[in-house]
């Protein structure tokens, strides 16, 4: 699959979440109302937007970690003749590894977005919160 197609899928998920967080989100969230009634409120709309952004961030991080692992094995997952040459950045251990933890940024991103998503879901499921 073309690397730009994969990036556009990640981008579409994140962009939809960002749109839900803006004033345009009121009309954009109407497609979710029948399946997810909580999106009819402003609070539900904002939480849904944050969930989409966190999920998109998780998928980008997972894709980055996958590319890092493939490049570490010696495989090429990026086309070198394109504008975006990810071999130079993601394949380079000096750039794609956290200097303090020694872990790839993709793994750190997956953990961070998982924790953020857990926090958003916890807030969304709080039964005592005002709607």
Query: Each residue of 3-50: pLDDT tens digit?
Result: 677 778 888 999 999 999 998 888 888 888 888 888 888 888 999 999
Round to whole Å and give the CA distance between 53 and 57. 6
48 lies in some domain = yes
11 lies in some domain = yes
41 lies in some domain = yes
129 lies in some domain = no
131 lies in some domain = no
According to DSSP H, which parts of 22-126 are helical?
Answer: 25-28, 42-73, 105-124
Round to whole Å and give the CA distance between 117 and 71. 28
From the CA atom positions of the chain, what is the Rg in Å?
Answer: 18
Domain of residue 63: give its range: 3-124
Round to whole Å and give the CA distance between 87 and 32. 38
What is the domain count for the chain? 1
Q: What is the pTM of this model?
A: 0.81
Q: Is the dihedral of CA 101, 106, 109, 113 positive or negative?
A: negative
For the CA atoms of 18, 24, 28, 34, the dihedral, rounded to the nearest 10 degrees, stands at 110
Give per-residue pLDDT as tens, 75-95: 666 655 555 566 566 666 666
Place of tokens 């916890």: 122
Question: Higher model confidence: residue 102 or residue 112?
Answer: 112
The two tokens of residue 68 are: 């890092």
87 lies in some domain = yes
Which residues, at least 6 apart from 84, have a Cβ–Cβ distance to it below 8 Å?
A: 3, 4, 78
94 lies in some domain = yes
């Amino acid at each position: 699959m073309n690397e730009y197609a994969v990036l556009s899928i990640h981008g579409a998920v994140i962009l939809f979440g960002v749109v839900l967080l803006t004033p345009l989100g009121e009309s954009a969230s109407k497609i979710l109302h029948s399946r997810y009634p909580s999106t009819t409120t402003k609070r539900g709309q904002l939480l849904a937007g944050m969930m989409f952004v966190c999920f998109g961030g998780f998928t980008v991080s997972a894709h980055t970690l996958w590319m890092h692992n493939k490049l570490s094995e010696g495989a090429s997952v990026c086309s070198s003749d394109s504008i975006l040459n990810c071999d130079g950045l993601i394949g380079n251990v000096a750039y794609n590894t956290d200097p303090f933890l020694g872990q790839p940024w993709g793994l750190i991103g997956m953990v961070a977005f998982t924790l953020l998503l857990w926090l958003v879901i916890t807030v969304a499921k709080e039964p005592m919160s005002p709607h």
